[in-house]
Amino acid sequence: MTSCPFCKNKEIEKRTIVRNKFAFAFPTNIPIVPGHSIICPVRHRETINDLSPRELKAIFDLQKRIRNALQKTFGAKGFNYAWNEGESAGQKIPHFHLHILPRKKRDTGVTRYEPRKFLYRPASREKTPEAELRAVAALIKKNLKI
């Protein structure tokens, strides 16, 4: 796809950290913390479910390598991983990409990571009754394809 900023982008090619047959990794141009990197499939694919088993394996092989390198390079004590899927979930570039952020005490940039602020309902945070949770699980199981 020629309009995709991850496909055949000369700037990204110049800053690619590592590449294998199916995936590549590079530092993002708008990092949350130093070392914030992105891992993408080589083929233009929008969602994780669009990836082949080989592409998935290649991405997670690079995740291990990048994680270790970020740990050594930045003294990371933890990591944030994220991907958005679909415009309604915040995916701005329709090419699957896994963010990896090295984290340590006294990080600069965005330091307060609270997934409940953007993943969950913003108002009430009461526990959901067990009966309701079991009913939701039953609904999902009914549509589960094995």
**Residues 6 or more apart from 55 whose CB is under 8 A from it?**
22, 23, 41, 42, 43, 45
Query: 39 - beta bridge partners?
Result: 25, 98
For this structure, is 97 an active site residue? Answer: yes
Q: Strand, coil or helix: what is 39? A: strand
Retrieve residue 77's tokens. 């004590």
Q: What are phi and psi of 122, to 5 degrees?
A: -75, -25
C-alpha pair distances (Å), 58 with each of 52, 54, 65, 74, 109: 10, 6, 11, 24, 29
- Of 36, 44, 97, 99, the active-site residue reads 97
Dist CA 43 CA 36 (whole Å): 22
Active site residue ranges: 97
